[in-house]
Amino acid sequence: MAEADPARTRDMIDTAPAFTQADADALNARFAGVDAGTMLAELFASGELGNIGVVSSFGTESAVLLHLVAQADPGVPVIFVDTLKMFDETLEYRETLITRLGLVNTSVVQPDPDVIAAKDENGLRWSWDPDGCCEIRKVEPLARAKQGLDGWISGRKAFQSVTRQNLPRFEIEDGRIKINPLGDWTKQDLEDWFEQHDLPRHPLEAKGYLSVGCAPCTSTVKPGEDPRAGRWRGWDKTECGIHSPNNPGNGDDGDLPPGYEPVF
């Protein structure tokens, strides 16, 4: 697999994807059985994937991935999408983790204020159109943040939801490499890592919030429920839209629903 050319520009003329499914397949084979920390350290050191960034929600399980990244290279960019609907506890937790883990290249991206003024002036779009709300507050800002990246690292795990089963470590999304280092980790693996490395917990976790997103669309999870059951409760919605389906054709793991049109 050829190294990414930093001089290469992506514009209306050059639209060829940087990576292909064959690249993802080769990486999945190469790192099969290799622990996530070793894998990340090798990839960061080699620079073979070009410009790579981490997208973190700073949710209840985020500390594990961020700890692995910081151990491998604390200078890797860490992007946080502030939808302007976040829990105060999440914003505070972000600052805690940045300091504790020594992350030195963090950034925040927010929704376009003009789009918010035009499409969600009263801030209540979440209550009647959660897909549209996610589109303008999370999907579009993250798309802007990823423009300079050749690939990005996600914190998704297969056990989190039935819609995340069969999650590969490497996949292709819009010509970029997408890495899921914790895809095959279990909940117990995460718990063990938290304990072994004395990582701070999200302050809402002890209150029953097992998966934390925007405040209006996040609720506590009952015993025995899917860990993400508290997200968009009461809606036929399981993802915010920043993740493309890892099971092609299932139509329920991140892309907008069939027939849905972006609102901007």
For 56-70, give the secondary structure using H, E and C.
CCCCCCHHHHHHHHH
Q: Tell which residue, 97, 98, 89, has the closest CA to residue 207.
A: 89
* CB-based contact 254:164 (threshold 8 Å): no
Burial of 48 per CB tally in 10 Å (0-12, 13-18, 19+): middle
* CB-based contact 156:254 (threshold 8 Å): no
* Helix, strand, or coil (residue 152): strand
217 is annotated as an active-site residue: no
Annotated catalytic residue, options 133, 214, 217, 240 = 240
Residues with catalytic roles: 240
